[in-house]
Amino acid sequence: MTCQYYTTPIYYVNAKPHLGHAYTSIAADVATRFKKMEGADTFFLTGTDEHGDKIVQAAEKENTTPKAYADKISKLFQDILPLLNIENNHFIRTTDPGHIEVVKSVLSTIYDKGDIYFSSYEGIYCFGCERFYQERELVDGKCPDHGTVPETIKESNYFFKMSKYQDWLIEHIETHPDFIRPEQYRTELLSFLKAPLEDLCISRPKTRLTWGITLPFDEDYVTYVWFDALVNYITALGYPDGERFKKFWPTARHFVAKDIIKPHGIYWPIMLKAAGIDIYNGLNVHGFWNVQGAKMSKSIGNVTDPVEVTGRFGVDAFRYFLMREMVFGLDANFTEDVIVARINSDLANDLGNLFSRVLSMNYKYFKGRIQGPAAGSNKDLSLEPDADAALAAYTKAMAECRFHKALASVWELVSAMNKYIVANEPWTLAKDPARTDDLGRVLYELLEGLRFVAGLIWPVMPDTSSKIITALGLELPEKGFFTLDAIRPWGQMPCGITLAKPRILFPRVDVEKK
Ligand code: ME8
């Protein structure tokens, strides 16, 4: 059986979750659910990143300790998961004792190998990012993420010999075309790697910061937060000898936004290589949710609360909007008008109306009883070719994390079904007793189409999927979804059973009242 491990970034606990965090977690959840539909054994991890200066500062503002503050915010990240219908297998916190042990053991391995050295260093440092910058990384002399001028600091610290592995990393990326996706980020990283890679400062003196993991080889220093954080991906599987680690490593594909491509695309593979651990399978990089052209971010304060949006529009509508609106890899704009437009046109109009029209007609013309495709009916009325085309396009797009395209393929089937109703005019067929068989087949094909659509939307809209399945009189398998192989065969709707009148799937959002 194929195994697949998906992760989200572990989020900093210096502020509560916003729409950007929700997007990455939902994208990883959708990918995991799709892999399950392919029959794979999956493991899906998310969690929180709790050490470092950012957390100390946030805790100080609230007059509390870093640990108490981390407990509070980490809980918000955990509590939001069921509200967003995210089914993670584990939630990791970098303050977990097991994680701390693994970080120390990885550091010791690399230190013993001679890839960590002590040196005095003067460099430019962004406190917001908690890292040293190279001049060439700045934009107009400022940190590209925080827009602030970094400070020059001089310190003795421990450094990780990343430069030693630069040629190896370039070769690894070049020989593994899928390592970083989409392509533009692979190109970006390779072009960054054309200049010499500097060694990474992986310690912070305790005179400046104590909230971190003490270095196993020097009591006076804590570990740089990124070195600590990246290790979470193996800790959570029970590295070094846990059963899960053996099963799921190195199948990991990490979901991240473009802000953290360097730690994931450069530090992490080199850390693994230096520690003698297999390199993870790949990175799936997405763009930013922007608000009026600026990145939605806690430091700017222009954030949208996913709990509030979900409360107003419903969890499936929110998940659909996020996956349909953003082209994976590119930036997208968030406004309320865009979400309302998507709900009204794609969900209420296209899918919702189709669902209620088909079930209402079946109720009206056959008292809800499903007719079979009678032998004497017109075989050209089949919707199977449209369903097959949708399935093929959907599967390809999902495998490439092109969620917007996958959904567009399903909506092509929805639109083909709406056109099919117009073209075949069931209301005219109903007037002609000689064409009852054709009417039965038309409705049967449409019910089959709904079954197909319901199966395919499960990764993105699990609740809606099961609502449609139940309304079609079908039973959900115990695991809660149909595999692609189970969906594929055409003609599975049970004839002779009676379906109830439909209920509204997605109410239209009244723009005035929104
Ligand atoms: O970077 N649009 O944590 P973080 C899209 N702890 N995604 C966004 C976003 C936006 N406007 N804003 C945030 C960290 N994100 C580290 C990670 S991993 C070993 C350590 C999402 O809380 C996106 O996934 O700053 C981004 O990469 C992540 O949140 C950054 O979260």
State both tokens at 122: 């003067």
What separation in Å is there between the alpha carbon of 362 and the centre of ligand 1?
A: 48
Q: Which pLDDT score is estimated for 513? A: 53
Torsion angle, CA of 178/182/184/188, rounded to 10 degrees? -60
What separation in Å is there between the alpha carbon of 251 and the centre of ligand 1?
A: 22
What separation in Å is there between the alpha carbon of 11 and the centre of ligand 1?
A: 6
Q: Which pLDDT score is estimated for 512? A: 65
In 3D space, the residue among 139, 147, 266 whose CA is nearest the CA of residue 199 turns out to be 266
Helices (H) and strands (E) in the chain, counts: 21, 16
| Beta-carbon-side half-sphere exposure of residue 63 (alpha carbons within 13 Å) | 0
Classify residue 367 as left (phi > 0), alpha (psi -120 to 50) or beta.
left
Which residues, 6+ apart, have CB-to-CB distance to 400 below 8 Å?
181
Measured between alpha carbons, how far is residue 67 from residues 71, 72, 84, 129 in Å? 6, 9, 26, 20
Catalytic center residues:
18, 21, 126, 129, 143, 146, 295, 298
Which residues, 6+ apart, have CB-to-CB distance to 1 below 8 Å?
39, 40, 41
Could you tell me if the CB of 21 is within 6 A of ligand 1? yes
For the entire predicted model, the pTM comes to 0.96
Say whether 139 sits in a helix, a strand or coil. strand
Which residues, 6+ apart, have CB-to-CB distance to 302 below 8 Å?
291, 292, 294, 296
State which H helix or E strand residue 118 sits in. Answer: strand 116-126
Mean pLDDT by 10 residues, the chain (514 residues): 96 95 98 98 98 93 96 98 98 98 98 97 86 88 88 93 98 98 98 95 94 98 97 98 98 97 98 98 98 86 93 97 98 95 97 98 97 81 96 98 98 98 97 94 97 98 97 94 97 94 92 60
Contact present, 29 and 462 (Cβ < 8 Å): no
Amino acid at 188: E
Could you tell me if the CB of 13 is within 6 A of ligand 1? no
Could you tell me if the CB of 306 is within 6 A of ligand 1? no
In 3D space, the residue among 381, 368, 353 whose CA is nearest the CA of residue 445 turns out to be 381
Which residues, 6+ apart, have CB-to-CB distance to 276 below 8 Å?
109
Radius of gyration of the chain (CA): 26
State both tokens at 325: 């609106």
ipTM of the prediction: 0.99
Atom of ligand 1 nearest to the CA of 11: 22
DSSP state of 164: G
Residue listed under structure tokens 């190195």: 250
CA distance 54 to 299: 11
Could you tell me if the CB of 259 is within 6 A of ligand 1? yes
Residue listed under structure tokens 């959904």: 407
Could you tell me if the CB of 12 is within 6 A of ligand 1? yes
CA distance 292 to 296: 9
